[in-house]
């Protein structure tokens, strides 16, 4: 775990914690080092969209399971 004064270590750990793969971490670290903030923001925004898409897909799967459970409970009650 990086200490509070290790900005690069904190950035790296935050990227890892956010689920960025090794290539994305490397890209972001290079962009930060080169102070290419706009490019870094685009990479982070793209990763965020990917995470949101994954979340929405999981929510849809949960909704399908909830519906199935509801239907099975209704069938059980009617017997």
**Domain limits of the chain?**
7-77
Average pLDDT in the chain? 94
Contacts by residues 19-26 (CB-CB < 8 Å, ≥ 24 positions apart) = 19/47, 19/51, 20/47
Q: Please report the pLDDT score of residue 1 as a whole number.
A: 59
| pTM score of the predicted model | 0.79
For residue 45, pLDDT beyond 70: yes
Q: What percent of the chain has pLDDT over 70?
A: 94
Phi/psi at 56 (5° precision): -65, -35
């Amino acid at each position: 775990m990086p200490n509070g004064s290790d900005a690069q270590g904190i950035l790296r750990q935050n990227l890892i914690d956010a689920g960025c793969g090794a290539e994305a971490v490397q890209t972001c670290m290079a962009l930060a080092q080169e102070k290419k903030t706009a490019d870094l923001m685009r990479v982070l925004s793209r990763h965020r969209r990917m995470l949101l898409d994954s979340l929405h897909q999981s929510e849809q799967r949960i909704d399908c399971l909830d519906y199935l459970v509801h239907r099975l409970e209704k069938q059980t009650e009617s017997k």
